[in-house]
Each structure stands twice: as C-alpha cells, then as structure tokens.
C-alpha cells in the first residue's frame, strides 16, 4: 500500500517517486500545498475506495498518517 500511496503522491506533486523525501509530510515537502493536499485526498479516496472525514483529512498530512487512516 505504501508504494501505491507514494505513486499517487508523486503524480499529484508532479515529481518522481524517488524525489519524495523519506517520511514525507507537509512540513518537509513544500509542494504539498493546501490545494494539492485536497487533490491528493481525492485521488487516495478513489484508489482505496474510501471517504475520509474532514477531521481525518486535516490530519493526513504525512505518509504515516495517510497509511494509518487508509488502514482504519
């Protein structure tokens, strides 16, 4: 799943997967803007067939949190 998430991130942020920092989060990756964040959430929802709550969306600002909420 982690690989798939990274692949989606790379697509949204328009970079290669290997350009994503280790343990990527909104703080250590400046292209992760609030608009891109929502695009990312939409793509994740489609890929994993989920609908996150607004509270979850605002917390899903790191790779680990994203994986945590997708697995829930």
Q: Name which of 58 and 64 has its Cβ closer to another protein.
A: 58
The whole-angstrom separation of Cα 25 and Cα 32 is 8
* Residue 19 near another protein by CB under 8 A: no
* Residue 38 near another protein by CB under 8 A: yes
* Residue 49 near another protein by CB under 8 A: no
How far out from the chain centre does Cα 10 lie? 9
Q: Which two tokens stand for residue 31?
A: 């292209």
The whole-angstrom separation of Cα 21 and Cα 31 is 12
In the list 1, 4, 58, 64, the residue contacting another protein (rule: CB under 8 A) is: 58
Report the interface residues with another protein, using CB under 8 A.
Answer: 30, 33-35, 38-39, 42, 45-46, 51-54, 57-58
């Amino acid at each position: 799943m982690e690989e798939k998430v990274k692949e989606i991130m790379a697509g949204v942020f328009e970079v290669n997967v290997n350009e994503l920092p280790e343990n990527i989060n909104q703080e250590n990756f400046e292209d992760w803007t609030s608009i891109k964040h929502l695009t990312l959430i939409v793509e994740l929802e489609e890929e994993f067939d989920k609908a996150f709550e607004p509270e979850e969306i605002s917390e899903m600002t790191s790779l680990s949190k994203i994986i945590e909420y997708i697995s829930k």
